[in-house]
Amino acid sequence: ISLSLWAADSYPGIGRSATSKEIAAWDIDVRPDFKGLPPGSGSVAKGMLVWEGKCAMCHGSFGESNQVFTPIIGGTTRQDIQTGHVAALTGNTQPQRTTIMKLSQVSTLWDYINRAMPWNAPKTLSTEEVYAVTAYILNMAEIVPDDYVLSDKNIAEVQKRLPNRNGLQTRHGMWEVKGKPDTGNTACMKDCVKTVSISSRLPDYARNAHGDIAKQNRIIGPVRGADTLA
C-alpha cells in the first residue's frame, strides 16, 4: 500500500491516506440500497440459537420484553405486510410502538444489530450470526418463514415484505433550513384570548415522582423548591 501525503497542498503534514484494510475495518454501514452489506447468509434456525444465547435475556424470548428496552416484536399483521403500512400506528390499539412496527428498511435492522448488539458486547457477532438473528427477528414478526435463510442475495425481497416499509415520509419542513413550518402562530399582544382554562396539571400522585423538588432548587434566590414530600 502506498501512503500518499494527504492534502499536501493546503495543509502540509496533516493527515494521511487511509489503507483499504482500515476502511474495511471501519466502513461497516449498510445503506437502504444494501451498499455496504457483506456477502453471507444465516438461517432462522441458527438465529434462534443466537437470540436465545445472546439476546433473549434482555429482549425476551419473543422479542416482547419491556424490561430493558421497548419491545421489538408485536403490533404488526399479515395485512400490514401486504400494504407496507402498520395499521396499529393509527388509533390507540397498541400500547407501545414496537421496533418492527416502525421499521421501514431491513438494512437498518441488519446494520444496527451488526454495529450495536448485543448491547453489552457490540460488534462481536459474526456476519453469519447477524444474518441469522436478523432472520429470526423477521421470522418472529412473521415476515419470513421458519425455514428461511437470509442472505445478501434475497434481502431485497424481504424489504418488500416489511410491514411498515411505506410508513415513513419526509413531507415536512424540518429537514431543510428553508423548510416551511407546520404552524403559523401570530404575535398578538392584547386581548388575544377571551378565556383561559387549565386542561391538564400534574396529578397529585405524581407530585413526588421525581423526588423532593425542594432538594432540586437553590436554597437562596427568588424561589425555593416546593417540599413535595410534605
Partner 1 sequence: AGVAARARAQDIGDGDPAILNLPEHSKTLGLPVASNPYGLPSRYEKNLQRRESPGLTRVGAASVSFCPLQGMFGIITANGLHFERHHQGWHDIDPQQHRLMINGLVKNPSVFTMDDIMRLPSVSRMHFIECGANTGMEWGNVAVPTVQYTHGMLSCCEFTGVPLSILLDACGIDKKRARFILAEGADGSGMTRTISIERAMDDVIVAYGMNGEMLRPENGYPLRLVVPGVQGVSWVKWLRRIEVGDMPYATKDETVHYIDLMPDGTHRQYTSIQECKSVITTPSGGQMLIDKGFFNISGIAWSGRGKVKRVDVSVDGGKNWRSARLETPILSKCLTRFNMDWVWDGGPALLQSRAIDETGYVQPQMRQLREVRGTKSIYHNNAIQSWQVAETGEVGNVHVS
- For ligand HEC, give the closer residue by CB, 38 or 173: 38
Place of cell 396529578: 203
Stretch that binds Ca ion, among 24-32, 49-57, 113-121, 168-176 (CB under 5 A): 24-32
Residue 13 C-alpha cell reads as 503534514
Residue 156 C-alpha cell reads as 431485497
- Tell whether residue 69 is a contact of ligand HEC (CB under 6 A): yes
- For ligand HEC, give the closer residue by CB, 57 or 213: 57
Please report how close the Cβ of residue 55 comes to ligand HEC at its closest, in angstroms: 3
3 state DSSP class of 108: helix
- Tell whether residue 120 is a contact of ligand HEC (CB under 6 A): yes
In angstroms, the Cα distances linking 176 to 31, 180, 183, 219 are 21, 9, 16, 44
Do 30 and 37 contact (CB within 8 A), yes or no? yes
Q: Which does 55 bind (CB under 5 to 8 A by kind): ligand HEC, Ca ion, partner 1, none?
A: ligand HEC
Indicate which single residue of 37, 44, 88, 133 sits in contact with ligand HEC (rule: CB under 6 A).
Answer: 133
Please report how close the Cβ of residue 147 comes to partner 1 at its closest, in angstroms: 27
Binding mask 48-67 for Ca ion (x = CB under 5 A): --------------------
Place of cell 419491556: 66
Q: Is the peptide bond before 38 cis (omega within 30 degrees of 0)?
A: no
Q: Which of 114, 168, 139, 116 is nearest to 47 (CA)?
A: 139
Q: Which residues bind ligand HEC (CB under 6 A)?
A: 50, 54-55, 57-59, 68-69, 72, 99, 109, 112-113, 117-120, 125, 133
